Structure 1
């Protein structure tokens, strides 16, 4: 399976300098204007089906939470020692920031666990929440090159969707539908208030779960414009303070 192509129009490129948008996930570099987790061909780019019921941008149904915040995991045999270190650094970040309320333990006989794969022919992806049995997080090398994207996929697995999926997102951002790749419109779905619930936090431009401004652009123009002209979206440096508070609230830390 090939990663979704994200193409800038050649005519635009020739006419004037524009945002650098990679043709495939493999060509992602840190100076790209989209994030590696935004390059997949799954639901909303990096979410694997089946989908649990939607909420604000985190699951309310406690069936999808990891009991006591403990996540069991195993690595596929294809991982190198340096790649394992990159993933474990992200685990350590969650454990440190939550004071151990969220923890990761290598699987022994647990029936519910994350199986980490390293397939460069597919994008970064994760299921949302604990779905039961073995569930995959895929980390191609170009995803592991971005620490924030490594955290992003784990945050999905802990129970959260993308920030711009929130029911109230139109109060904070404008989706530029005319600039979105044909067939990629589903990546900008939002959900009504009758299926959402909150964790006591307002919309967060700075979330590690927020798309970047050029996500799924067909023409090198922005697909997301912030209502606040000074807001910056799409950071992949680490969890925001709001990300951390929502996670702590979800797991009653």
Structure 2
């Protein structure tokens, strides 16, 4: 079975990330018609169409938007993550970033519309992985699904209450993606070994979104990659994600393009989570 290599954020003080937006930076209209037709799935953003000044922390570069620390467009970092203390080792990150016994406690805010997006996404994760989702009663560490400006999440378990934010345009597939972040996954295109598999065409990336394509290790984070890069991963951008001119931002090494998918966990996604948890 093909296994995917996931980029698991490993920070000694915990993991943080944010949710996706109702709008997308997929430039479908500018892309060729044949490409536009298959680029219906949208890339997640915490604050659609908004960027902020680059901030440099001890662990790398992120953006500050509306008072929040945003990594890779839809990952919300906590204050302790951008200004960590103590050694940042992989083993510490793995222990603090994973949900104990692969159990995620959760609540759904009553104000969130179309709650079936959440329940369907949870059912999908439980059908294909060993991760379990249990309604929260009094547990200290849990996720709340709530209304957001876009689609975003913390990354991994950060301790206490954390959020997966869903705008009205966030689909079930986007929710599956954000849960992936909450479990500790980076975007697939930020893997350490990605240059073996893809070309990043920086000249075609929209201004202000360049950091979405930086390797997580370059940003200052340590983690572990599992398997080979998976072009079908639900955590992977498409070839035209965040394009400024309708030209690809990511291609395979032979120059060919590929589609984004936000329908389901790939076989590689499932295999990677099984290894993690």
Q: Cα RMSD over matched residues?
A: 3.1
* Aligned residues of 2:26 and 2:240 also touching (Cα < 8 A): no
Asked if 1:206 corresponds to 2:232, the answer is yes
Q: 2:145 aligns with which of 107, 111, 116?
A: 116
Asked if 1:224 corresponds to 2:250, the answer is yes
| 1:239 alignment partner in structure 2 | 265
Mapped to 2, the partners of 1:54 and 1:173 lie a distance apart of 28
| 1:215 alignment partner in structure 2 | 241
| 1:49 alignment partner in structure 2 | 77
Give the superposition deviation at 1:203: 1.2
| 1:90 alignment partner in structure 2 | 121
Name whichever of 184-193 and 225-234 sits farther off: 225-234
Cα deviation 1:92-114 (Å, max 9, x = unaligned): 1111112xx21111111111111
* Aligned residues of 1:33 and 1:212 also touching (Cα < 8 A): no
| 1:26 alignment partner in structure 2 | none
Cα deviation 1:205-229 (Å, max 9, x = unaligned): 1111000111111112111111255
Mapped to 1, the partners of 2:230 and 2:39 lie a distance apart of 22
Asked if 1:69 corresponds to 2:96, the answer is no
| 2:132 alignment partner in structure 1 | 103
* Aligned residues of 1:19 and 1:33 also touching (Cα < 8 A): no
Pair 235,93 (structure 1): closer, same or farther in 2 beyond 3 Å: same
Determine which structure has the larger helix proportion and give its number: 1
* Aligned residues of 1:207 and 1:233 also touching (Cα < 8 A): no
Secondary structure of residue in 1 paired with 2:169: helix
Mapped to 2, the partners of 1:118 and 1:162 lie a distance apart of 22
Secondary structure of residue in 2 paired with 1:48: strand
* Aligned residues of 2:239 and 2:249 also touching (Cα < 8 A): yes
> How many residues are aligned here?
226
Pair 19,171 (structure 1): closer, same or farther in 2 beyond 3 Å: same
